[in-house]
Amino acid sequence: MIRIISIALLGLALLAGCSSTKMAYRYADWGIVWWVDDYIPMTAEQESRLEQDIRGLRQWHCATELPRYSKWLAQLKSDVRSGNLSQSTVTHHQEQLLSFFPPLMERARPAATRLLSSLSDEQVQQLASNMEESQKELEDEFLADNPEQTREARAERTMERVERWLGSLNERQRDTVNAWSEGRGKQTEIWLEGRRNWQQALIDALATRDSDDFSDRVHYLMSNYEEVRGERYQRMMSESRAAMAGLMTDLLQQADQRHLDHLLEQAATMQGDFDTLACTSEGTGSLNG
């Protein structure tokens, strides 16, 4: 279920994480398979049902949502070319991106419910154990003993993500990212705490997977994931969204022409991929491939 929520980030996170948007779209199996493969082995019946659900979800998304993404990217390119890079513009684009997630979550809910309700007791126990192990690994990776090291690592991760879109940052931009990271306080710790809270809520819900209201519980977990992750997480996310918009505004206003050219190139490539993707089941790959 952790990776089922990741399906809602497909709008950019999944697709942008692959050198080829089309390859990511056709072969990543929509995040759901990542989660299943990561945490529990499936039965042949579960694999077959999930494959059908993914095919239908992909068809809907390709026909309905990709045109919205393409239109948004066209507006983004227009604003970059015109130099319209104010914080209000950046915030508008951030809100546009976030608006892509709820429809995808809602559409994915039946598949998530079917998969989760089909789990055996053994699979649930294995899921809980593997999620705990994964959580511990993330805590070890992201929470250094020295808070300064944690901040430096967060800044480095942020720079890597930004450079995906802007190219190599100049010195002023790097200073801006470092200062921004300094101001994020315990953001990484709170994110991990929220992740643990959500996982526990999922395990609690799975204890009732044979009940009539299980679909409603899955819906709540997917639609209210920030609330489930706790008050500290909700406050952090609200502050983080505003801070991220401010960061991107600063970085764009500090950008050289090469940064803007790189951003335009990346947006054009992704928009081209969205425009040329054929909405068919051809080339969907397999659960194991």
Instruction: Give first-to-last CA distance, the chain, whole Å.
Output: 21
Is pLDDT above 50 for 41?
yes
Q: What are phi and psi of 146, to 5 degrees?
A: -95, 120
SS3 212: coil
Report d(CA 142, CA 151) in Å as an integer: 9
Q: Shortest CA distance to 233 belongs to which of 184, 181, 183, 192?
A: 192
List Cβ neighbours of 221 (8 Å cut-off, separation of 6 or more): 1, 198, 201, 202, 205, 228
**Domain locations along the chain:** 2-276
Question: In the predicted model, what is the mean pLDDT of the chain?
Answer: 80
Q: Lowest mean pLDDT of 13-17, 122-126, 169-173, 226-230, name the range.
A: 13-17
Q: Are 247 and 176 in contact (CB under 8 A)?
A: yes
In this predicted structure, what is the pLDDT of residue 124?
93
Average pLDDT over residues 101-114: 84
Can you read off the two tokens belonging to residue 34?
């990542």
**Which tokens go with 197?**
């809270």
Instruction: Say how far apart CA 45 and CA 203 lie, in whole Å.
Output: 22
Does residue 1 carry a pLDDT above 60?
no
Mean pLDDT, range 132-136, rounded to an integer? 91
| pLDDT above 90 coverage of the chain, percent | 35
What is the DSSP secondary structure assignment for residue 41, as one 8-state letter?
P
Q: Tell me the pTM.
A: 0.77
Task: Using the structure block, give the residue that is written with the tokens 């705990």.
Answer: 132
pLDDT of 28 over the 80 cut = no
